[in-house]
Amino acid sequence: MNSSFWKSGHTPTLFAAFLYFDLSFMVWYLLGPLAVQIATDLQLTTQQRGLVVATPILAGAVLRFVMGLLADRLSPKTAGLIGQVIVICALFVAWKHGIHSYEQALLLGLFLGMAGASFAVALPLASQWYPPQHQGKAMGIAGAGNSGTVLAALIAPVLAASFGWSNVFGFALIPLILTIITFAWLAKNAPERPKAKSVSDYFKALGDRDSWWFMFFYSVTFGGFIGLASALPGYFNDQYGLSPVTAGYYTAACVFGGSLMRPLGGALADRFGGIRTLLVMYTVAATCIAAVGFNLPSSYAALALFVCTMLGLGAGNGAVFQLVPQRFRREIGVMTGLIGMAGGIGGFALAAGMGAIKQSTGSYQMALWLFASLGVLAWFGLHGVKRRWRTTWGSAAVTAARV
C-alpha cells in the first residue's frame, strides 16, 4: 500500500470508520457465540436457537436501508452516532433486566440489528474521502471491521462461563462507550459528499439489473460470512460435542480468516481485477463448504475447510465492494444500503435455514450443500455478465474490473 493512498484521503476518519464498524460487528454478532448457553437456559429448540442468532442479521439488513437514508440526509457521522446510542441503550436494558424468554431474546436481536446497520455508515464515511483508484483499499480497510466477530467469538463464551451470559451485555458496554467517544472525536464527513437521495432513488436503482446482480453476489459472500459465523458455534457444539468455549475458539479461527481477507480482497481486486478475484473466491468457498457437507468425522478437518471457506468469502466481500464504486460512483450511498441489505438477508437465510434444516432432518448436510450450490450459481452468474459489463461500464470501470 503506497504513500499515495495515505495522502489521498483522511486517515483519522478511516480509522474511526474501522473502529466503529469493528465494535458494531462485535455487538451485532454477540448472540451467536452465546447461542448455546442461551438455548440451554431458555430451553430453546435448534430451530429457535437458529432464529435467535439470525434475527439480528435480518434486522441489520432492513435497518441498513434506514441508516443509508440517515447517512444521506444528515451525514454518515451523525447517523453513526445515532445508531451507537440506540445499541448502547438496548444492551444496558438487557443487562440490567436480563433476558428471560425466547421472545425477549428475539426483541434484543431486533435492537442489535442497528449495530449491523453500521455497514451503511462506515463504508460511505470512508469511501467518500478517497478517489476511485483507492476505493478497494479504503473500503477494504473500513470493512475489515468484520473482525469484531472474532472478538465476540473469543471473549463472549469465556465471559459467559465465568459471569453468566446476561452479564456479557454489560461488559460489552465498556468498549462501546469508548468507541462512541473516539468516533465523535476523529470522524469527519468528506467535504464533497453526494447529494442526498430520496426513497424514489432506491426504487430507481432497483430498476437497474446490475443492482440485482450485486445484491445477489454480496448475499452469497457477506451473507455466507455472517450466516456461518452466527451458526458455527451451534454447529460445532451439535456436530462434535464441543463446549461453548471451545466452539467459540473454533469459530473465532474461521471468522478471523474471513475478516483478515476482506481488505486483502479489496487490494487483490485493485491489482488483478474485481471480477477475476471474485470468480476465484466463489470457487474456493463453494468447493470447501460442499466438502464439509459430507459430515466429516474430524472436527479439525471441518475447521480447516471452514477456515478456507471464510477466507474465500472474506476476500469476496472486498472484491464486490471494489467493483461497486466503479459501477455506481454517484449512487454509492444508495447502493451500499441496498447491497448491504441483501447481504444481511442472505446471512439471515443461511443462519435460520441451518437451524431449521437441522431441526427437521437431524443433519446440517442439506443446508451446507444448498449454500455451496448458491456459490456455484453466483460463479456462473458473474461469468455470464462480465462481457456485458466490459462494454457498458466505461473505460475506467473496465480498467478496474479487468474483465
Domains of the chain in sequence order: 11-401 (1.20.1250.20)
Query: Comparing C-alpha atoms, which of 183, 384, 366, 347 is closest to residue 290?
Result: 366
Q: Does pTM surpass 0.75?
A: yes
Number of residues that make up the chain: 403
Instruction: Say how far apart CA 259 and CA 199 lie, in whole Å.
Output: 32
Q: Find the radius of gyration of the CA atoms of the chain.
A: 20
DSSP H helical ranges for 128-147: 135-143
Query: Comparing C-alpha atoms, which of 135, 139, 119 is closest to residue 20?
Result: 119
pLDDT for the residue numbered 395: 41
pLDDT for the residue numbered 317: 87
How high is the mean pLDDT in each 10-residue block of the chain (403 residues)?
A: 63 86 90 93 93 93 84 86 95 94 95 88 78 66 74 92 94 95 88 71 80 92 91 93 93 87 79 87 94 93 96 90 76 75 90 92 93 93 80 49 46
pLDDT for the residue numbered 9: 67
Instruction: Say how far apart CA 53 and CA 8 lie, in whole Å.
Output: 39
Instruction: Say how far apart CA 348 and CA 61 lie, in whole Å.
Output: 9
Number of helices followed by number of strands (H, E) in the chain: 18, 0
DSSP secondary structure letters along 227-285: HHHHHHHHHHHHHH---HHHHHHHHHHHHHHHHHHHHHHHHHHHHH-HHHHHHHHHHHH
Instruction: Say how far apart CA 72 and CA 201 lie, in whole Å.
Output: 12
